[in-house]
Amino acid sequence: MQRVPAIELSHVSKTFQLNDGRNILALDDISLAIREGEFVALLGPSGCGKSTILRLIAALATPSAGQIRVEGVAPAELSRAHRLGVAFQDAALLPWLSIAANISLPFRLAGYPVDQARVDDLIRRVGLADFAHARPSQLSGGMRQRAAIARALVLSPEVLLLDEPFGALDAVTRRSMNLELMRLWSAQQITTLLITHDVAEALFLADRIIVLRPRPGRIAHEVDVPFPRPRDAAIMRTEQFHSMADTLTNMLADGFDEQA
């Protein structure tokens, strides 16, 4: 018996109304299925609808047309059950709480008793054991993002949604965080959707890459990533990695050319 996809979008479109009354079609007829335990990256330039897709899956917006199912149910149902983990580019940590308290916050919001062992384990896994009682302002940007990802994972979600989580970081810190995320994902293999405009990031982390074309957002290409797991930084130095990165970059450029 074939299992239901972990995430499924069927002919999804999204229209936004501007203040002047005009309607803007942000997404047009998106159909996508993500298997349980699969890591998929949505790759595309700003304005192609990547974040809109994530917000629809996270039940932060509703489609204008089409249907979305996450683990076989409507996204809002999964969200209410606290089975979705979400991390954004802005870590959005509460500045008056310690790192440990920020990471344990989802337990409190869900009305669950705090599993301190789970919190402590995640703090250790993201390399913040020495900063559990620090405030966010005392941490670097990369460290705050580690805490945000730990918070997204603390309730052991069935689906992890990452919206440009490292987009504001410098190149060196971003690569370090890619390695951290790879290590964390490999330990649990949660169904994950990553939104990014960084070709190398998508290629290193994902099992499959969906390239979006802008204005309105449409799926232009799907690319299976051939690198075996587990992966390490050495993959990024191979000829095959660089060749695929060039191919993906050209796919993105083609999308812009067609819109010109």
Query: For 110-145, how does the pLDDT look when each residue is reduced to its tens digit (9 = 90+)?
Result: 999 999 999 999 999 888 999 999 999 999 988 998
Position 260 scores a pLDDT of 40
What separation, in Å, do the N-terminal and C-terminal C-alpha atoms of the chain show?
46
Helix (H, G, I), strand (E, B) or coil at 16: strand
CA atoms within 13 A on the CB side of 192: 28
Res. 254: pLDDT tops 90 = no
Share of the chain above pLDDT 90, in %: 63
d(CA 188, CA 183): 9
Average pLDDT over residues 244-257: 81
pTM: 0.91
Position 256 scores a pLDDT of 53
Q: What angle do CA 160, 180, 208 make, to 5 degrees?
A: 50
Res. 85: pLDDT tops 80 = yes
Four-residue CA torsion sign, 81, 82, 83, 86: positive
Q: pLDDT tens-digit profile of 148-205?
A: 999 999 999 999 999 988 887 888 888 888 888 888 888 888 999 999 989 999 999 9
CA nearest to 13, candidates 63, 76, 69, 68: 63
Position 166 scores a pLDDT of 85
Position 255 scores a pLDDT of 58
